[in-house]
Amino acid sequence: MTDRDNLPSRLIPESPRWLFTMKRTKEAMEIATKMAKRNGKTIPPEYNEVRMEFLDPDTEESTSSTPSPLDTFRTPKMRRYTLILMFTSSVVYQGLIMRLGIVEGNLHLEFFISGVVELPSAIIFYLTVDRLGRRLPFVLTNIIGGICCLATAFIPEDILWLKNTIAVIGRLAITLGFEIVYLVSTELYPTALRNIGVSMTSSLSDVGGIVAPFFLYRLANVWTELPMVLYGIMSLLYGALVLLLPETKGIDLPETVEDVEALGR
């Protein structure tokens, strides 16, 4: 990626919320003022109270500490949330795609159908997360995906249409759960650690794409459907772990680690 590719991002101002959290109050006020002016608005009087709350001559233009990935493990709840979000459904997600290469049937048609389910999963995601919250769909998608994986493994080959239908439903459910991971991770981490937390969970979930082939082909040598049994168990386990996460619908985004520790009380 070149600097030219990064040019649009350089035109986007830094988030005033993040700047306030990092004690860079002067920059935050300048950007907020420009935003208000461009939109034909004025800074409300209470904004100055917020400014004075964050303004500290001893810490202005500096931060008390530089955030690091280790900060996502320093406190009990942060550590729990990070470990749960790391254990995403990416292994199952990638494994279900790669499974198409070892099963009988029309590979091209099945791969096409597997890709098409991405669209309804996005629509269901849009319709559910603001109505049902985050945690309930998160749990249900993993449980449904797990049940479908286990059912697919034990449906006889002579009922191929049913086997493929259940597999597609499982793929849709896992895809939906995979999308919810990214939404929840942005809402669970405090402002100063949000970019780091989301990047970490995204990068570590990509490990699923690396280990999925090893699970798939090693286990398939023992029994073709053994990977599906493993994926089903993993999905059910992850659905249970998600119950340990707090509901983030309608809450204010946490500003500090202390705010994260207070979630769910």
| pLDDT tens digits, one per residue of 118-162 | 889 989 999 999 899 999 999 999 999 999 999 999 999 889 889
pTM: 0.77
Q: What is the rounded average pLDDT of the residues 167-192?
A: 89
**Cβ distance 169 to 204 under 8 Å?**
no
Of 41-45, 58-62, 195-199, the range with the lowest mean pLDDT is 58-62
Which comes out higher in pLDDT, residue 23 or 138? Answer: 138
| Residues 166/151, Cβ–Cβ less than 8 Å | yes
Name the least confident of 102-106, 176-180, 227-231. 102-106
pLDDT at residue 146, rounded to an integer: 94
Burial classification of residue 201, based on how many CB atoms lie within 10 Å of its CB (0-12 exposed, 13-18 middle, 19 or more buried): buried
Do residues 233 and 146 touch, judged by C-beta distance below 8 A? Answer: yes
pLDDT tens string 100-120: 766 666 777 777 877 888 889
The per-residue pLDDT for 59 is 46
Of the candidate ranges 18-32, 55-69, 111-125, the one whose mean pLDDT is the lowest: 55-69
Confidence of residue 202 (pLDDT cuts 50, 70, 90): confident
Q: Which domains does the chain have, with CATH numbers?
A: 3-54 (no CATH), 69-262 (1.20.1250.20)
Asked if the model's pLDDT at residue 229 lies above 70, the reply is yes
**pLDDT of res. 62:** 44
